[in-house]
Structure 1
Amino acid sequence: MKKSILIITIALFMGCSSTQLEESWKNPDIDTYEPYKVLIVGLTSDEVARQQFEVKLKKELELRGSEAIVSFDILNHTSKTDKMSEAELNALESQLIEDGFDTILLTKIVGVEEKTTYRETDNGYDETTRKFKDEYLMHQDVFYNPDYYNNYTVYKAETSMYCICPTKDRELIWKGYINITDPQSQSIEKTVNDYVRLAIIVLEEEHLINPLVIHNVETTEKIVQ
């Protein structure tokens, strides 16, 4: 029931979006969570997309009362050609805890899938009464028109929320899988905005971040834009 409500809520808010929630998992031992200081990590070699994503997510979290720091301010001291060792990551976690961080939000691409659909033609037919000739007339372009098929790419991204609280074991709080449809066909800004907006909606509905309090119509208009 709860999952159905979440899906309906997302559908109402997202409208025409390039992103779609595929799966959302929440730690069953956690009812609510309020991140105090968050490190945002976008794990991608595309520095422009990474920076836009991290900054956008930072702004949304700050609007909801959390302090947020982008990974560019912390992780970029290491050479791009150097991988971090387990010992270095342990030291980083300890330093983050010492600096007051309690949460890490990590986002990465975990899969790419090529999709093909055919161009639909809507002539107002009721599919239940459609005859053979109607069906054939509508789709015979498959033989003659190279543009009959539409090829596009779907990127599967994963965002995970981790607690690094010193009083408990490091644990996964939430994990969400979000599909990004054909990001090359639109601006990085739109893709980032769609992704962040969807992730924030899910985190709010799961009670893992504070809700945004809207005080007036002007504020609402700014948020929508």
Structure 2
Amino acid sequence: MKTKLIFLVLWFVVGCSSTKLVGTWKNPDIVLFDAYQVLVVGMSQDEEVQTEFETRMTERLKAAGVDAMRSIDLFDVEFTSSQKSEQELSEVEQQLLDKGFDAILFTKVVGTENKRTFRERMNNFSNLYTRFSSDYLGHQDIYYDPEYYETFNLYHIETALYCICVDKERELIWKGDFEVEEPSKVDKTIDAYIKLMTSAMQEEDVIF
């Protein structure tokens, strides 16, 4: 199977936030990939967000018949409080392998940028402004309305699935790149992200 690089424009609108799948990559040597025990890692400085994401993602995997565990249930506080070496991480992978894990689903924010947009106005020929005064009066809230322009952060998020199978390299199986607008409701945004991400994985015969 040839390498797939799929660009989709799928939007899940949640209040004032939205989640967009930018593209995916799948290992060209893998046709189907089934996992039986997956470690879910959501890398975040916000413990509540990490807990919420890992919990919901684990539940989604279990609903698909895949045994899954949250990283917060496996790694102690000291593990994430300091930087790790490649050797230490290799030892962690071996420990996971010894415990029966065959995959790691790793999600993290890889970048963020500030965006600015403005409230859309519906104009047509029937309400064209023929005088300066009318045009000014019709738009003067640009000066006074604090919500006329909206500033928000756009987060670039990446989810990668790694195999830690016996007698195989710890290789990348699948990766998805996403854009998420700054959420107004974190729980609903997490649900939208998981729904979009798992749908993309299912389309490419990865786990789901």
SS at match of 2:8: helix
SS at match of 2:156: strand
1:76-225 to 2 correspondences below 5 Å:
76-123=76-123, 125=124, 133=130, 137=135, 140-141=139-140, 144-147=143-146, 148-183=148-183, 186-210=184-208
Q: What corresponds to 1:7 in structure 2?
A: 8
SS at match of 2:57: helix
Query: For the Cα contact (< 8 Å) 2:5–2:26, is it kept in 1?
Result: no
Q: What corresponds to 2:34 in structure 1?
A: 34
Identity %: 37
- 1:32 CA drift (Å): 1.4
SS at match of 1:57: helix
Query: For the Cα contact (< 8 Å) 2:13–2:19, is it kept in 1?
Result: no
Structure 1 residues 142 and 77, CA gap change in structure 2 (3 angstroms): closer
* Structure 1 residue ranges without an equivalent (≥5): 211-225
Structure 1 residues 133 and 163, CA gap change in structure 2 (3 angstroms): farther
Query: For the Cα contact (< 8 Å) 2:32–2:206, is it kept in 1?
Result: yes
Distance in 2 separating the partners of 1:52 and 1:143: 38
Structure 1 residues 18 and 143, CA gap change in structure 2 (3 angstroms): closer
What whole-Å deviation, never above 9, does each CA across 1:42-79 have from its counterpart, x for those lacking one?
11111110011001000101111111011011112525
* Structure 2 residue ranges without an equivalent (≥5): none
Number of equivalences = 199
Distance in 2 separating the partners of 1:99 and 1:39: 11
- 1:182 CA drift (Å): 1.4
Quick check: which one's helix share is greater?
A: 1
Q: What corresponds to 2:50 in structure 1?
A: 50
Distance in 2 separating the partners of 1:161 and 1:142: 48
Q: What corresponds to 1:214 in structure 2?
A: none
Structure 1 residues 3 and 160, CA gap change in structure 2 (3 angstroms): closer
Quick check: which one's strand share is greater?
A: 2
- 1:81 CA drift (Å): 2.9
Distance in 1 separating the partners of 2:110 and 2:130: 44
SS at match of 1:7: coil
Structure 1 stretch displaced more, 168-177 or 187-196:
187-196
Structure 1 residues 141 and 206, CA gap change in structure 2 (3 angstroms): farther
Distance in 1 separating the partners of 2:24 and 2:83: 30
Structure 1 residues 131 and 29, CA gap change in structure 2 (3 angstroms): farther
Structure 1 residues 30 and 114, CA gap change in structure 2 (3 angstroms): same
Distance in 2 separating the partners of 1:47 and 1:143: 39
SS at match of 1:30: coil
Structure 1 residues 93 and 149, CA gap change in structure 2 (3 angstroms): same
TM-score between the two structures when normalised by the length of structure 1: 0.78
- 1:27 CA drift (Å): 1.3
Structure 1 stretch displaced more, 78-87 or 17-26:
78-87
Distance in 2 separating the partners of 1:82 and 1:7: 37
SS at match of 1:21: strand
- 1:167 CA drift (Å): 2.0
RMSD (Å) for aligned C-alpha atoms: 2.7
SS at match of 2:40: strand
